[in-house]
Amino acid sequence: MDKEKLISKLNWFYSLELNQVDLYKSQSKAFADEYAGLVFEKLTEIEQLHVDNIFTKISELGATPTKIGDVISPIIGSIAGKIIGMRELHDVLKINIMIEQKAMKDYKELINNVKYSQYGSNDLIRLLTQNFIDENLHTEWFKTKLSEIQTLEFSIKP
Ligand SMILES: [Fe+2]
Ligand SMILES: [Fe+2]
């Protein structure tokens, strides 16, 4: 992996993390009266830390962090247009899982790609791994909450 390719991939993550800050911020407002709203608020802060650490990394490589626009829509495909109007928590969780899993998949791929390149410093690998772990934890909470909702959906009150 050459420097140019690494910077372009980091810019993709920079954009993804920025998109996720916006996404979780709007979800924290939409679900303000639920525990999930508090979780989305906390996730907004964590994604902002990812934005900041990727920003720093791109700058250290001598490049200017550049937002490449909406990177979420291609991940969620045909659902993209409906995301704004989504009011059901279970729909929101499903979308969030898709996005977090894409982030994990790409962090993992980048870690493997830079590991043996000249830019694969311990510092960079540690940063990418820590972001990956955060996304993994987010995914697990979403899955737990989704499963709780589905359990309630498929049960009846005697
Ligand atoms: Fe993130
Ligand atoms: Fe995340």
The CA 54 to ligand 1 mean position distance, Å, reads: 10
Q: How far is the CA of 158 from the centre of ligand 1 (A)?
A: 42
Q: Which residues contact 22 (CB under 8 A, 6 or more apart)?
A: none
CA of 134 to the centre of ligand 2 (A): 6
DSSP per position, 81-107: GGGGG---HHHHHHHHHHHHHHHHHHH
Quick one: pLDDT at residue 84?
A: 63
96 Cα to the center of ligand 2, angstroms: 8
User: Which tens digit of pLDDT belongs to each residue from 35-92?
Assistant: 999 999 999 999 999 999 999 999 999 999 999 988 888 888 877 667 666 789 999 9
Q: How far apart are the C-alpha atoms of 33 and 48, rounded to whole Å?
A: 23
**Domains defined along the chain, listed by start:** 3-153 (1.20.1260.10)
The confidence score (pLDDT) of residue 81 equals 66
Which ligand number lies closest to the CA of residue 19?
Answer: 1
Q: What is the mean pLDDT of residues 28-41?
A: 96
pLDDT per residue as tens digits for the range 145-155: 999 999 998 89
- Provide the b/e sequence for 118-156 (b: ≥16 CB within 10 Å): eebeeebeebbeebbebbeebbebbeebbeeeeeeeeee
Please, what is the average pLDDT of the chain?
A: 93
pLDDT tens for 87-117 read 899 999 999 999 999 999 999 999 999 998 9
| Predicted model pTM | 0.92
Task: Give the pLDDT score at 67.
Answer: 94
34 alpha carbon to ligand 2 midpoint, in Å? 19
Residue 62 burial (10 A CB sphere; 0-12, 13-18, 19+) = exposed
Residue 53 CA, ligand 1 centroid: distance in Å: 10
